[in-house]
Copies of this chain bind each other. A is one copy, B any other.
Amino acid sequence: MDKKALYSLSYGVFMLSTKAGEKVNGCITNTCMQVANSPTRVAISVLNTNYTCDLIKQSGVFALSILDQTVTFETIKFFGFRSGRDVNKFEDLTPPVDENGVPYLGWKACALISCKVLSSQDLGSHTLFIAEVTDAKVLSENAPLTYADYQSKVKPKPEKKAEDKKIIGWRCKICNYVYEGSELPADFICPLCGHDAEDFEPVYEK
């Protein structure tokens, strides 16, 4: 199987958020699709090790802010490159809140989809949630950011190969997570996005 074939699947990029009691969190994800029209249903897939996944299981609600072409890497880093277990990402923000009490992005996003979970299924690395769309709002006229746009235009370019320099780490090409060390274990799985060692590239000393 050539896993690169799966890179040809097209996706958007989303800030996925939830609120369970007093706990709020949001992360960056690329997996959401509408799965039924009548009634309106969406499906999302969320990495099991992700704090947002735990909180959605508790709360049964989530919001998808569909990121648009005005998004910069700063926003992706803010929500995507740290865990809500370590920091309250919303602490210094005053985001708008949807009808289920979930904060969403009123900026850098072209649409909001508010959802209540109907069912969930553990698929090993990820949990698939099927949800009722309880509300949907157009937030701007900006075009949505595609995952291909994120990879080609938003994400910083990898360093060029430098044969005379030492490898000091390995960067996940999917989400930019960095493993520190000169050798990446062959069975390594990215703790942020769940991709495997094949999807890592070397990080060289400065």
Contact = CB atoms under 8 A, between A and B. Distances in A.
B37 A194 contact: yes
A112 B39 contact: no
A130 interface: yes
Number of copies: 2
Contacts of A134: 1
A98 to B, nearest CB: 12
Contacts of A157: none
Given A33-B31, A39-B124, A41-B123, A8 B12 contact: yes
A9 to B, nearest CB: 6
Given A8-B110, A12-B10, A1 B125 contact: no
Interface residues of A, number: 55
A147 B130 CA distance: 22
A143 B31 CA distance: 19
Contacts of A6: 34, 40, 42, 111, 113, 133, 136
A56 interface: no
A137 B40 contact: no
A94 interface: no
A75 to B, nearest CB: 17
B189 A38 contact: yes
Given A136-B5, A144-B9, A195 B37 contact: yes
Contacts of A138: 2, 4-5, 8
Nearest to A139: B5
A53 interface: no
30 contacts: A1-B134, A2-B136, A4-B136, A5-B113, A5-B136, A5-B137, A6-B40, A8-B138, A10-B10, A10-B11, A11-B33, A33-B45, A35-B126, A36-B125, A36-B128, A36-B194, A37-B126, A37-B189, A37-B195, A38-B125, A38-B194, A38-B196, A39-B124, A41-B126, A43-B43, A43-B45, A119-B121, A121-B130, A123-B130, A144-B148
